[in-house]
Chain A
Amino acid sequence: MSAKIFELWLCPPIRWIAFLLVGASALLAQQADDAAAPPRDPTKLPAGVLGKYESAITSLNSPAGVAIDQRGRIYVAETGGRRIRVFDSNGRPIREFGTETDPPLLNPTGVAVADNGHVFVSDTGNNRVVEFSPKGVFVRSRGRRGCADGEFINPGGIALSGKWLYVADTGNNRVQRLDLGGPNAQIIGRFGQEPGSFNSPLDVCVDAQGSLYVADYDNQRIQKFDSAGQFITTWGDWGAAEALLAGPRGVEYHDGLIYVADSHNHRIQAFDTSGKFRYAWGEHVIRPYEGEGKIHYPDQVAVAPSGEFAVVCESWENRCQVFGRVAAGEKPKLTQWWEVGQAMHYGPLADVAGHVMVMTETEGHRIMVFDVSREEPILIGQFGGYGTKPTRFIRPADVKLDPDSMRLYIADAGNRRLQIFRLAFDPGGVVKFRPGLAKFVKSIDLVRLGQNDPQLRDGPVIEPIALERDDRGNTYLISANHPFVLVFDPKFNFMGSLGSGADEGHPLQRPADLCFEPSSGQMYVVDAQSGWVAVFDRERKFTFAWGGLGTGEGKFTKPVGITRGSDGTIYVVDAGADRVQAFDGRGKFQMQWGSTGLGASQFFKPVGVVQDERKRLIIVDYGNHRGMYFKADGKFISAFGPRLFVRPTRSSGRPQPTAD
């Protein structure tokens, strides 16, 4: 410090000002950590509606749930990160918690903040709700896996209202109203399509009068109940036009409006409390991973109590975006997906038999059939579309093609059924598009099947997300709501399970995919939550497992796809780590490839893997809207799909023809 400045420092008025400044900054720093004093002035509320992009909180790990407290602090349920993260209203991190509890949070998807600052979390993977102090210290928890009152299966969004905590009990297809001061739990709704029933309710909110609103995901609607849980009204239907919904995942109440995270329409819609459409915002993504106001598969939306801003979380893009209010009289930006062109998602899972590859396509709720006898796959048929009638799909999740009979088995998670088609494919015929390629044979109603079986009757409704068949014609089903694999005989009588409670030692928690090894009769099951590959013998007994959570060789972050190569190699796709790993049949690590990105040998949330008769591996690179060919040794061959997502691989991979 120079002498002159030192003299100034000794000057009493300046010293006092300095002390005041230092004290004030220290106080502010303390508040930033403890209270995060909001820089916004809630008394200066703009008159316009919400929807003006302001900022983003990035580098999150699948944030699915969000809440905002009275001081504007943002609480994010970071599902993939398995914790709660707290930010100030400008996105600066304040604290995180949930990893130190016993057990630690496991894939939390819902969060709500009480007036006293206590934080409630739906601990989805542990099937419970947890209360934390304002500092993030564990206070208490409630619930366990089950179907009884006060028990949960995959609880989703939560909401507080007075002494009640509402929980979207997604896997049980109901809402529970828990008394925060006692053991009471009220059940609202059950599985079904009629008013008052649910098909995968994902989120809840409560208005100022105590009425409950539920995002009824697979029924494509919002349902309203009174404070006693009596059904009042419903609105919405599947579609993309104004006021229609496509996969409503989140619902939020603020100041007379219900905000809906309209996931597959990539927008937020606002309705009044009677369901009348008011406005919407959301610009569709054009470039991959684009943000800055572009919304891509929003999970939940939260509005600050001041009404000044909203936060939209997109677990798909690993971020949350903050939206303020537009100027009075202005409309927020809104584009429809068809205005920028549809870029279908391949997958999640696929199958190959002979020259034919079959792929689900979730955006169009349809099935695509390719001839893969050439260098590039050629689309030769497609069928389906949204709906509940036979041949229609709500959420086609997996396909299995029998090479002998050319029977195609399709698991439809939204319709809770299997549909069986026969493909009229002539391997020696001309390769061309055939409108009548798939002939519907029959469907199996898994709701009815579960109700008729005494072993399944008391459990949750089957929600099929993956399937496999063995060489005896038995069908193996993975249900999103069951921690084991369901096995049915050729006539679809329930035979038993892989990994049930009686079969000790197995690591199954949330199985995601499976593949059959015909010579040994072994079934390999990959588990997305525990990170293990579990192997069962023909008698459905657990034999061994490998893997576990981690990022090293042989470890997994979120393994979701598995297949067996023609030489017995087991390939596992890890959506959490954007890579593929190969093992021998005993689980010995062989090799790996992949990283995050759009280039060759790069992935973004890959979900499926199959091998064709030319021994090429086809990876369903779901997040990049494309399929990718690799040699069995992991060398990149080519990619196919919407050109926007394929072009980068062609510039970074092997030389490709320019015409795509």
Chain B
Amino acid sequence: MLESNIQTRLLLAAALVFWTGCQNRETGSWQAAPRPSQASIPQPAVPQFDLGGLSNDGTFYVCYQTKPDPPPLNEPFDVDVFVCNAAKTQLLADVGLTADADMPAHGHGMNTLPKVQALPNGGFSVEGMLFHMSGHWEIYFDISRNGITERAQFDVHLD
């Protein structure tokens, strides 16, 4: 009975991972990546990243980690992102995320389209970022929930 229960859970988990992967393949680069309902995911601890801040309307706290840190010049890099409530007490699982970056003084962005993948740990993996010039960049994380998309943005100065 116990073994059967564990098998069922493993099957459900595998289905969940498979479904998540399908979602990300379908949504492509610039679509918000929805995740399974919050109830089906155990609540992980809020990660303690050095980088982060409130979104532009104060609804969310976003923490992130570039890989590598700091981001390289003209080399692809990835970002791990976690979206929490503003008080940083709860990781939010009912949000979608897209990522982008611009050089505001130049009026252009990146030459790549990063892919966003929702992870089972409650975070997001952003792959394929690339800063092709040195200077002032702004990283954008656009968080979507119930039809409202709010931006969190962070400055990066690349020498």
Contacts and interface: CB of A to CB of B under 8 A. Distances in A.
Interface in A427-447: 435-436, 439-445, 447
B138 to A, nearest CB: 8
Nearest to A446: B147
Interface in A403-439: 420, 422, 435-436, 439
B78 interface: no
Contacts of B74: none
A452 B147 contact: yes
A389 interface: yes
A448 interface: yes
A394 to B, nearest CB: 15
A449 interface: yes
Contacts, number: 45
Contacts of B147: 444-445, 447-449, 452
Nearest to B59: A442
Interface residues of B, number: 17
A390 interface: yes
A16 interface: no
Interface in B98-128: 100, 104-105, 107
A420 B106 CA distance: 22
B5 interface: no
A19 interface: no
Contact of A443 (B100, B149, B153): B149
Contacts of B148: 442-445, 492
Interface in B40-68: 56-57, 59
A441 B54 CA distance: 11
B105 A435 contact: yes
A422 B149 CA distance: 15
A442 B30 contact: no
Contacts of A492: 148
B150 interface: yes
A442 B57 contact: yes
Contacts of A439: 56, 153
A436 B105 contact: yes
Contacts of B35: none
A389 B100 contact: yes
Contacts of B150: 441-442
B89 interface: no
A440 B105 CA distance: 15
Given A389-B30, A448-B147, A452-B146, A442 B104 contact: no
A448 B149 CA distance: 11
Interface string A441-467: 111110111001000000000000000
A613 to B, nearest CB: 27
Contacts of B30: 389
Contacts of A447: 147
A441 B146 contact: no
A435 B104 contact: yes
Contacts of A442: 56-57, 59, 148-151
A449 to B, nearest CB: 5
Contacts of A435: 104-105, 107
Given A439-B56, A440-B56, A441-B56, A390 B149 contact: yes
20 contacts: A389-B30, A389-B100, A390-B100, A390-B140, A390-B151, A422-B56, A435-B104, A435-B105, A436-B105, A439-B56, A439-B153, A441-B56, A442-B57, A442-B148, A442-B150, A442-B151, A445-B147, A447-B147, A448-B147, A452-B146
